[in-house]
Structure 1
Amino acid sequence: MPRLWIVRAGKHGERELAAIEQNRLLPGFLEVGDLTSRPSRDAILGHLQQVLPELAQNTLKNFAAQLNQFAHTIQIGDLAVMPRKVTNSVAIGRVTGEYVYNSDDPYRHSRTVEWLKPAVPRDTFKQDLRHSFGAFMTICEIKRNGAFERVRSVLETGLDPGALLGTQGTAPVRATDDEPDAGDYASDIEEIANQQIISLIKSEFAGHALAELVAEILRVEGYTTRVSPPGPDGGVDILAAGGAFGLGQDRMCVQVKSGDGAANHDVVLRLIGSMSNVQASTGLLVSIGGVNAPAHRELDHHFFKLRLWQMPDLLKALFRAYNDLSEETKNKLPLKQIWAPISGDEA
């Protein structure tokens, strides 16, 4: 029977866009050599002890188990979930190829995948699966609570039916086993909290209200802003200017995309055109659904004039400004800062 796997694409989502564009699973571990000739966890562990001698033995055992799964346990036809950091979605695909190592490839380790749905909002899934997606693992299987059947249901119907009868009592797997379940590992508390905040933002600041939130954040950061009224905006949601009375040379044109879909190349071109029309010196694209590869290349091409805020960037700006936001905004988005211990792998 096919199985369901989490395969992440970077702690900060740095390989996500390449994974989607190239139809590949890209787990990283760039210091690690070819796993083809290392057919077991123990063989991989021996290699890791040579190339990563500074890491603790338990960490190396954990990494060896993950890499063994990626290279030797995952099968063609299995489903893979890639939790996406730059949006609040997950990509779901079907594995189509065997493990490949290429030393000339910047990503080194990969498997091909057919992305069936590259951007499913996390809120589509019930809380237990969302927590599994937040496990502190780059590669691991999700087995509990009928996870495979539920993800397949989302692919077919768009709905998560919840934990299925007869699937609750799966025995826990020790972390030293080759096939740990996502539920056996601590969740990334920060990631889960961020996803909850994202859901709140999408609920309380839907549509044009997101532009109002971005404008308020920019005002806290010292800009004078003007927000376009709801409706067609011609590529300008916010005008922001620095200096006294907003008359300085730092003039910014902001386009805000509040939908789940990735902003495309045309969105970037419209922003560039709007900058010219209003004589802005810089442009900011805020897209909570991220951007596609052509749009990202266009943004890179205009590095000295354009900036992109995807969801992680918006959250960082929100946290910086939060204490100085209006009481009305804080009431819609009630947050508090906490301290929490971190695991050895994060430190």
Structure 2
Amino acid sequence: MNVLPKQTSTTEASSEVSPRLWIVRAGARGERELAAIEQSRLLPGFLEVGDLTDLGSRDAVLSHLQEVLPDEGKNRLRNFAAQLNQFVNKITPGDYVVMPRKVTNGVAIGLVRGGYEFDSKSDFKHSRRVEWQEESLPRDTFKQDLRHSFGAFMTICEIKRNSALERVKTVLETGSDPGALLGKQGQAPEVSPTTDEDEAEAEDYQTDIEDIANQQIISLIKSEFAGHALADLVAEIMRIEGYTTKVSPPGPDGGVDILAAGGTLGLGEDRICVQVKSGDGAANHDVVLRLIGSVSNSQAQTGLLVSIGGVNSVAQKELDNNFFKLRLWQMPDLLKALFRTYGELSDETRAKLPLKQIWAPMSGGN
């Protein structure tokens, strides 16, 4: 395996440098999140890019990008170079990192434990070792200003305003965000201005408005449809999409929250057994195995697991092994189904989830 850890005085002298707080995402759709958690790695993507081990500056990274991405625009390449230079040369072992998750409404928080590594045989190529302190902490744990910082479009950027690092540390210690820490004059500490493009932070970049809106909708769903009520919402969505449904009463359900069937009177061959997990924690392997048993016992054709906390890597492998029998709805899938059917939901449901569709210009960012 061609793994080349970057060895520099910057990354090895972490004890002499104050830690910093970074965002490092794992895919626009969260496609690398489970691998990042399972492997204890930061996996930012940029798979077209080659080994950056010996490139010690943004200009050197930019020159490489101009060779491997000749069709990209100048500004976009400068943007990519700034991000990758941070990942390779600026992030230091001992720094804190936040990975906003797409498949759940949570964030993973970790401590960087290694320098930049490149593995040409890996599916992910560029990585750093990280020790995860939290794998999916609900975003609602943080106050709105930090949640907006987590919504920056950039794959890699720093967060430092509004006492961000101190607040993340406090959340890890106490589970509560104290808000921006005030100085002697009752004002949030100032951050020195900088002209270095690499030093721009989350607040300097355009916010992903769609992601911010989705997170607010998720918070509303978790509040208004807590516990068994989420099964009622899923069943209503499925009825609008043509299924006859039967919802199990609250209490132990034996792995069956909803039975759904297509066709006239619900007597068609399209029969689905649905298990709904409304908690923040990831569904595990046992949940999937119970669903498989329920599919067989109920004489359903397929099983649908709805888990707003996502699934862990072992559960995902079991789902993959049962591709023709099982399907998974994580939070993005539930939102898509909600948006598809929203206009036909009952007045009562729409009163709990008051939504309005808007149009906004697309960002030209990464």
TM-score by length of structure 2 reads 0.93
**1:205-251 residue CA offsets vs partner (Å, 9 max, x unmatched):** 00000000000000010000000000000000000000000000000
Which residue number in structure 2 is paired with residue 169 of structure 1?
Answer: 190
Residue of structure 2 in register with 1:33 after alignment = 50
Match of residue 49 from structure 1:
66
Secondary structure of 1:304's counterpart equals coil
Alignment match of 2:136 (pick from 103, 111, 119): 119
Select the residue among 14, 23, 27 that pairs with 1:10: 27
Pairwise CA distance, 1:170 = 2.5
Q: Deviations over 1:175-224 (max 9, x none)?
A: x6121110001100000000000000000000000000000000010000
Q: Residue in 1 aligned with 2:175? A: 158
CA distance in 2, matches of 1:58, 1:242: 51
Q: How does 1:133-148 map to 2 (within 5 A)?
A: 133-148=150-165
Runs ≥4 residues deviating over 6 A: none
Give the match for residue 243 of structure 1.
263
- Residue 111 of structure 1 and its aligned partner are, at CA, apart by 0.2
| Code of the aligned partner of 1:230 | P
Q: Which residue of 2 aligns with 1:303?
A: 323
Residue 282 of structure 1 is matched in structure 2 by: 302
Check conservation: 1:16, 1:84, Cα contact below 8 A.
yes
Amino acid at match of 2:190: G
Aligned to 2:345, which of 303, 309, 325? 325
3-state SS, counterpart of residue 178 of structure 1? helix
Q: 2:111 is matched with which residue: 87, 90, 94?
A: 94
Amino acid aligned to 1:74: I
What is the alpha-carbon distance in structure 1 between the residues aligned to residue 364 and residue 33 of structure 2?
Answer: 25
Residue 303 of structure 1: how far off its partner (Å): 0.3
1:189 to 209, 228, 231: 209
* SS of match in other structure, 2:198: coil
Q: Is the 8 A contact 1:88 1:121 kept in 2?
A: yes
CA–CA separation in structure 2 for the residues paired with 1:117 and 1:323:
37
User: Which of 128, 131, 141 is matched with 2:145 structurally?
Assistant: 128
Q: Which secondary structure state, in structure 2, belongs to the residue aligned with residue 97 of structure 1?
A: coil
Distance 1:125 1:68 in 2: 28
Q: Structure 2 stretches of 5 or more lacking a match?
A: 1-17
**Which position in structure 1 is the counterpart of 2:13?**
none
- Per-residue CA distance 1:21-59 (angstroms, 9 max, x = gap): 000000000000111111100000011111112211111
Q: Distance in 1 between matches of 2:325 and 2:332?
A: 21
Task: Confirm or deny: 8 A CA contact 2:154 2:365 kept in the other structure.
Answer: no
Q: In 2, Cα distance between the equivalents of 1:257 and 1:169?
A: 43
Which residue identity does 1:300 align to in structure 2?
Answer: D
Pair 1:256 & 2:276 matched: yes
Sequence identity percentage:
75
Q: Residue in 2 aligned with 1:230?
A: 250
**Distance change >3 Å, CA 254–CA 56, structure 1 → 2:** same
Q: Post-superposition shift, 1:169?
A: 3.1
- 2-structure distance, mates of 1:260, 1:103: 35
Q: Using the alignment, how far apart are the partners of 1:189 and 1:309 within structure 2? A: 23
Q: Distance in 2 between matches of 1:90 and 1:344?
A: 24
Q: C-alpha displacement at 1:171, in angstroms?
A: 4.8
Q: Distance in 1 between matches of 2:237 and 2:23?
A: 34
Q: Distance in 1 between matches of 2:147 and 2:354?
A: 21
Matched, 1:210 2:227: no
State whether structure 2 residue 79 is matched by structure 1 residue 62: yes
Helix, strand or coil for the counterpart of 1:218? helix
| 1:173/1:181 contact within 8 Å kept | no
Q: Distance in 1 between matches of 2:364 and 2:106?
A: 27
The unaligned stretches of length 5 or more in structure 1 are none
Classify the secondary structure of the residue corresponding to 2:154.
coil
Q: Any idea what SS the aligned residue of 1:98 has?
A: coil
| Contact map agreement 1:173 1:184 (CA 8 A) in 2 | no
Q: Which residue of 1 aligns with 2:14?
A: none
CA RMSD of aligned residues (A): 1.0
- The correspondence for 2:98, drawn from 81, 86, 91, is 81
Q: Secondary structure at the match of 1:113?
A: strand
Q: Tell me, yes or no, if the aligned pair for 1:145 and 1:168 is still in contact at 8 Å.
A: yes
Distance 1:185 1:94, change over 3 A: same
d(CA) in 2 for partners of 1:128, 1:293: 31
- What secondary structure, in the 3-state scheme, does the structure 1 residue paired with 2:99 have? strand
Give the alignment partner of residue 267 of structure 1, picking from 287, 295, 298: 287
Take 1:60 and 1:342, find their aligned partners in 2: how far apart are those partners? 19
Tell me the secondary structure at the aligned position of residue 202 of structure 1.
helix
* 1:82-119 Cα distance to aligned partner (Å, 9 max, x none): 00000000000000011000100110000000001111
* Equivalent residue for 1:316, pick from 319, 336, 352: 336
